[in-house]
Structure 1
Amino acid sequence: MIKGLAKKICLSTFVISSLFFGKATLIAKVSVSEQVSKDFTAVAKKAIPAVVSIQIKAKEKDSSRISGNPTSSDPLQDFFQDDFFEHFFGRRKQTAVKPREQQVFIGQASGFIVSKDGTIITNNHVVSEASEILVILNDGREFDAKVIGKDPNTDLAVIKIEGDNFPYLELGNSDNLEVGQWVVAIGNPLGLQASLTVGVVSAKGRNNLDLVRIEDFIQTDATINRGNSGGPLLNLEGDVIGVNTAIASNLSSGGYIGIGFAIPSNMATNVLEQLMKNGSVSRGYLGVILQEVDKGLAQAFGLDRAEGALLAEVQKGSAAENAGLKQGDIILKYNNNKVTNLAGLRNAIAMMPPKTKVLLSYLRDGKLQETTVELGLLAGDAVEKGNQKAAESLGITVEPLTKEIASNLGLLSEKGVVVSSVDSGSAASFAGIKKGALILSVNQRSVTTPEEFKQYIKETPPGKPVLFLIKQGELTRYISIKVG
């Protein structure tokens, strides 16, 4: 009997203990959940007052680009000019379309205040063509804004409103970000002011997306939609760790699919400081055209694995030539940092000021060598000069899409330029481009005139292929052509 009683007591103790510890575990779980919720709430209270809505007025150079179709291609509405990578511009209110006249339209996006005197960071594509900029605060106040400076290479811009004691956000250190970390995105998607979404850092250092010239994107799954462009990506301390810039979207619907990209705050800080001080951004420049090292090239150059950046061309009189670098050299390290891809090296150099001395380790004729380069200045016309031969070397001629040509080709509502001839043996010919094809965009920018076609090709950054969106027959596809 005593043994039976003892057994019951032990069993009762076990049940009570299990209930107690089970409840404690449940309380702990609830506590963690409540804490995270409080963190999000704290970020919202801190950040929302400093996030602004930006409305712009601009004059469209070609009224034929304005269409009542909200999905139509437009350089301000869809910066990337395709259905995959899109900036988040809100739908534009439009005036009645009158042929051959400049039309005033309105666009909407986001930004955030970074100083109490009204300095605001947003995207360059938001304000690049603006004739008027209206900033609306979360409390309803409206201010006219002026552009302090723009940096197309990173797609960042700084604007300012007059006043004092504005709520503002601090720029954090994006280098401290870790994959899997909670982040918060705030902006004005579809004109819905102060919308907050939550996600995690999906990846860091995304590049080679061909969105802008200098890429080092933070990838996040925090829900972002049209109108969020220029808004902040924040950590749970409420510090800005990124500037929301682009999304990947569904090819058919254009809807969000869980992939967004933000410019790191450290890059934004660098651009902000230079624009506030000089009104422009100065960057280091090597004066080379880089080529990715694939498995075949690695074997040919005697590398154990595909790494580094191959110098496809060294410009005369450049910093690289002055340091003794030659075509065919493979840069493996800069300041003892490994070169894992082209974009990483390009970004690192671009973030350094001119005259910075950089130690480069490179492979030549199977031997490792070192040299110190004093960086030059990345001039505003360096891109155009570097690709002056691009339009000529493609071996392709285009003409405007007239009503007669459109009718003959069976084109209904498409806009673009028509291929009138293709040189035999040219790069365009090898890529499969044929006479009569309709070129819809060049480097993800809609094209409607031969002049635009040539200009967009010239503006292609050195070392990057020209990206065409082409319609041939019933098939629409992208074609990438390396110049030369």
Structure 2
Amino acid sequence: MPTFGYKHLLYWFGLCCFLATSAAQARNLPDFTELVEEQSPAVVKIETEGRIDQSQSFHQGEEIPEMFREFFERRSRPERDFQSMGSGFLISDDGYILTNNHVVENADEIRVRLIDRREFSADVVGTDPRSDLALLKIDAKRLPHLEFAESDSVKVGEWVLAIGSPFGLDYSVSAGIVSAIGRSIPGAGESNYVPFIQTDVAINPGHSGGPLFNLDGEVVGINSQIYTRSGGSIGLSFAIPAGLAQEVVAQLRDKGRVERGWLGVVIQEVNRDLARSFGLKKSVGALISQMDPEGPAAQSDLRVGDIILTFDGQAVEQSGDLPPLVGRVTPGTEVPVEVMRRGERRTLDVEIGTLPVEQAQATPSRDPGGPGDPLGLKVEPVPEGADEAGVLVSDVSRDSAAARAGLRPGDVITQLGYDTVDSVERYRELVADMPKGEPVAVRFLRQGQPAFTTLQID
């Protein structure tokens, strides 16, 4: 018989402990089989056909030299047929279906297929490009449907599951956890007001519009976007929260469109130096860099240079938090807005307007980059007919405070600290009074876009 030494006993003891631990961990992992069996019948596959005008994508008229224009016009097709597919899910037993707007956009024909292979032609009840949601209707009764989870019930770290048709593969299931909530995606365009749920669930083209479930089988989100450089999932996917989706659905069913709150401001992030210059202890809030003269903010006591800290009782930790809060307010409602102004906190009552179709309710502005006065600037009066008063930067000295702040020739300085710059003389007075060694906020326009930065004289 083989003999076992001390090391052999330790090895076998360790292996047994590992197997026992692995088995215990496996028992603690969620079992999705029952959830999938119960909820899959309410998930649908959506196929669309349509035709889009692509003439603008081939040429822009005067931008193409005359000798080549005829070639492009001959080769370009003004319209192109397309087909697309995505996912969706039934939200009522009488045939209402929720999906993404981009799944059905420009579609002339929409077909919906259920898990039992039945197919229906769907009508569009209403769409909302800003939230990327669309409500469809099929002519059927007694259909399986899904329930939404309570608003804002999703937690970071909890298990979630997606069902959809990635790459046209019917009813594929993938699972993961919630990575973050309240995400504002840079470059999301009209969707910048959606506080996305970020997950590591494998989401791919074709999943769009499908449901994201919690372990109770409730819909916590609608899969909408992925971040990818390869075209496939890399563990960064984003879903529209269920609470926001319910608000949109209610308006689409009642009116076929969505009305949102509008503040009429351009905002930017508050960095450390800006926070310090405005009297804040940390970088929080949304800095107002411009206001629509006809907007609700301009009609209230809000001012350019105010930093919005709370809106309707909700904290604004970063600039991306503000658009969703504004958009969800019913137009005509008066809400309290807490701001930091001249180093002091104050609360203002602002009546929220209705978001125009072509506007954005709070638009993040572009961040500024990257021998004269103490700032290193040469300035001159702005040309007549300029949109705002200020001084035009004509030269920036190398290695100066202005150069370190990212100012460039062509920028128009409109504000230093808390004071408006309306002339070269006023600018020089303010520069002469600037403190040494302390950051001072500077508002400027670059190609018509407003932004704040900070300057510091050593």
Q: Is the 8 A contact 2:205 2:232 kept in 1?
A: no
Give, in whole Å, the separation in 1 of the partners of 2:185 and 2:36: 33
Question: Does 2:286 correspond to 1:309?
Answer: yes
Question: Does 2:230 correspond to 1:238?
Answer: no
Q: Choose the corresponding residue for 1:210, options 187, 204, 210.
A: 187
Q: 1:483 is aligned with what amino acid?
A: Q
Question: Does 2:193 correspond to 1:201?
Answer: no
The change in CA–CA distance for 1:481 and 1:165 in structure 2 (over 3 A counts) is farther
Q: Choose the corresponding residue for 1:41, options 28, 33, 37.
A: 33
Question: Does 2:227 correspond to 1:248?
Answer: yes
Equivalent position of 1:89 in the other structure: none
Question: Does 2:147 correspond to 1:155?
Answer: no
The change in CA–CA distance for 1:103 and 1:208 in structure 2 (over 3 A counts) is closer
Equivalent position of 1:117 in the other structure: 94
Give me the identity figure in percent.
Answer: 39
Question: Does 2:239 correspond to 1:262?
Answer: yes
CA deviations over 1:291-331 (Å, ceiling 9, x no partner): 21111211221221111111112222432233211111111
Q: 1:118 is aligned with what amino acid?
A: G
Give, in whole Å, the separation in 1 of the partners of 2:227 and 2:358: 31
Where 2:330 maps in the other structure, the secondary structure is coil
Where 1:176 maps in the other structure, the secondary structure is coil
Alignment of 1:22-421 (within 5 A): 26=20, 30=23, 33-34=26-27, 36-38=29-31, 40-62=32-54, 99-211=76-188, 212-249=191-228, 251=229, 253-383=230-360
The change in CA–CA distance for 1:329 and 1:341 in structure 2 (over 3 A counts) is same
Q: Is the 8 A contact 2:192 2:323 kept in 1?
A: no
Q: Is the 8 A contact 1:144 1:161 kept in 2?
A: yes
Equivalent position of 1:438 in the other structure: none
How much does 1:189 deviate? Answer: 0.4
Q: 2:148 is aligned with what amino acid?
A: L
The change in CA–CA distance for 1:259 and 1:148 in structure 2 (over 3 A counts) is same
How much does 1:107 deviate? Answer: 0.6
Equivalent position of 1:483 in the other structure: 449
Q: 1:311 is aligned with what amino acid?
A: I
The change in CA–CA distance for 1:371 and 1:383 in structure 2 (over 3 A counts) is closer
Give, in whole Å, the separation in 1 of the partners of 2:251 and 2:187: 24
The change in CA–CA distance for 1:35 and 1:45 in structure 2 (over 3 A counts) is farther
Q: Is the 8 A contact 1:331 1:363 kept in 2?
A: yes
The change in CA–CA distance for 1:234 and 1:174 in structure 2 (over 3 A counts) is farther
Give, in whole Å, the separation in 2 of the partners of 1:118 and 1:209: 35
CA deviations over 1:164-216 (Å, ceiling 9, x no partner): 01111001125121111110011000100000011111111111422223221
Q: Is the 8 A contact 2:186 2:192 kept in 1?
A: no
Give, in whole Å, the separation in 2 of the partners of 1:33 and 1:59: 50
Q: 1:328 is aligned with what amino acid?
A: G
Give, in whole Å, the separation in 2 of the partners of 1:30 and 1:64: 60
How much does 1:60 deviate? Answer: 2.4
Where 1:304 maps in the other structure, the secondary structure is coil
Q: Is the 8 A contact 1:63 1:98 kept in 2?
A: no
- TM-score, structure 2 normalization: 0.69
The change in CA–CA distance for 1:482 and 1:55 in structure 2 (over 3 A counts) is farther
Q: 1:228 is aligned with what amino acid?
A: H
The change in CA–CA distance for 1:193 and 1:208 in structure 2 (over 3 A counts) is closer
Alignment RMSD, CA only?
Answer: 3.0
Q: Is the 8 A contact 1:64 1:99 kept in 2?
A: no
The change in CA–CA distance for 1:115 and 1:32 in structure 2 (over 3 A counts) is farther
Give, in whole Å, the separation in 1 of the partners of 2:151 and 2:23: 30
